A and B are shown apart, each in its own frame.
Chain A
């Protein structure tokens, strides 16, 4: 088993969830999302984000609008669609369940060991 690979797999699973969570607070453009995800140490390289954004947008979870910026060309600002919000609340629920399950497993393991 490759540790890095396992870590990457785990990150991939939650990355989509994280993107939606970031956008649920504010509509942002890609670099803002990257900044936040980097601070949370969810992604390593930025390139990962773009295919996901496109896929979520195509799935109808996100929409974007063009906004002028002071420096350089206009930017794409992403925001959640109502569909995306519903999707996110589902994910929120399953995330809580997941955390609960993982915690349960981890604590019960400890119980057995003791």
Chain B
């Protein structure tokens, strides 16, 4: 009886003890069931409520309202049945009031162990909720179905918050609560925390309920631990991703992630971007990419923290803003990439053919400029290192590996064929770009000097440029490779089916090779022939 409840009546706050509160509530419910359905009933009830507030104020000031106060108030205002002043429609509605309440399934806030699902079903079926709980536990043990049904109900069923909903939950059987109209009146919006004790069950049922309550607590703790673990995972994942991203984009700091796991060194990508897109666009792409990564990571951290600390927040607006920013950044990013990508839709080629006069029987291939002599700052390898790009920061130079190949010319000529390829807005644009590629080679007599790489003219963007150098020689011609060229021909494979040794299949050293109708074949040393 020490418990006092705060109520808001007609715009004034009152402290009221529990007994008086129940009495007042019952009284207001009666008024509501009398007048609630008549025309203008809600307004009348409001007026009566403010009058009651006035009476309480004149009685008490701000003290705690007791049973005596409520009784005195009722004596003054009168019993609801005395209100009727020949208003026939009120009378006519009265009997229908009790019968029109449709029972509905709710989650029961007055009988809750986990979420009130069983309590609600119990109220609906007018059965002690213990039995429902036992059924659910049995079903959950033998089939997973019980658990799934429970979770589905938990999500689907609304919580019976207002008195009207509680009324619908119980039907007419249990408590005399009014229908919808009083939900407008301020008193009924209170949460009746005490009411669990009102709907008591049998002692045995209560004991079983206690057991369930304990089990429910344990389940809840397990669920919490599970959520906390997931939450921590979320936060850590997002945090690491964010740190990595900040490192890449703002500090170019490789850290622990500077592996070539993706075939390229990720940390050079932002720099590389400057060589691909228009200079003005590159920072925007970086910023938008960063936002596009940042937003989901922040969301992940937020969800993680929420899971860990289990709080509720009104985050609808913030979430929506975040989502809009994220979608916006993605849209802008794809627009930028698309508009930049348009300059790389077509492929164009240009070919240079050099015929070496007086086709010599023996050819010497020497390496010209070598990558190892290049003072480059960064390297990006694509296609499993078939395609390498070296950056020289000083002159913003792009150096790209060329491709080499030696093939049978099928006639008696010796030809050096240099094919350049670029991508551009149109075929002609791409072809013009490919002509601009600078590849140096020299032919003097029977010696061919080849650079290992070609360059893109300074200031020009990278356009998936390729240079393919092909040497055609007639059958029977012997080729000597300078040992330094081994890097160039690293990936050119030649068939020498007689040997299993890699040395014979790849041009690796200063050995000599002869062109056959089957492609290049290594010339055997005398020592080899002896074997």
A residues within 8 Å of B by Cβ?
9, 12-13, 15, 30-31, 44-48, 50-55, 57-58, 71-73, 75-76
Q: Is the CB of B51 within 8 A of A72?
A: no
Q: Is B79 part of the binding interface, using a Cβ–Cβ cutoff of 8 Å?
A: yes
Residues 26-79 of B contacting A (Cβ, < 8 Å): 31, 35, 38-41, 43-44, 47-48, 50-51, 53-54, 57, 76-79
- 12 further A-B contacts with Cβ under 8 Å, apart from A47-B79, A47-B80, are A9-B86, A15-B85, A44-B78, A45-B77, A45-B83, A47-B48, A51-B35, A51-B38, A51-B44, A53-B44, A72-B57, A73-B10
- The reply to whether B87 and A51 contact each other, CB–CB distance below 8 Å, is yes
Closest to A73 in B: B11
A27–chain B nearest beta-carbon distance, Å: 16
Q: Are B77 and A46 in contact (CB under 8 A)?
A: yes
Judged by a CB distance under 8 angstroms, whether B352 is at the interface is no
Q: Interface of chain B, helix or strand or loop or mixed?
A: helix
Contact sample, A vs B, 18 pairs, CB 8 Å cutoff = A9-B86, A45-B82, A46-B78, A47-B77, A48-B85, A50-B47, A53-B44, A54-B40, A54-B41, A54-B44, A54-B47, A55-B40, A71-B57, A72-B12, A72-B53, A73-B11, A73-B12, A73-B50
| Contact A30:B47 (CB < 8 A) given known A58-B40, A72-B57 | yes
**Would B78 and A54 count as touching, CB distance under 8 A?**
no
Inter-chain contact A12/B85, CB cutoff 8 Å: yes
Determine how close the nearest CB of chain A comes to the CB of B176; give it in whole angstroms: 18
Closest Cβ of chain A to B99, distance in Å, is 23
Bound: A46/B54 CA distance, A: 13
Please indicate the chain A residues that have their CB under 8 angstroms from the CB of B43 in the complex.
54
User: Which residues of the partner chain B approach A46 to less than 8 Å between Cβ atoms?
Assistant: 51, 76-78
Contact, CB under 8 Å: B51 / A45: no
Q: Which of B76-96 contact A (CB under 8 A)?
A: 76-80, 82-83, 85-87, 90
CA distance A89 to B477 in the complex (A): 133
Q: How far is the CA of A46 from the CA of B79 in the complex (A)?
A: 10
Closest to A15 in B: B85
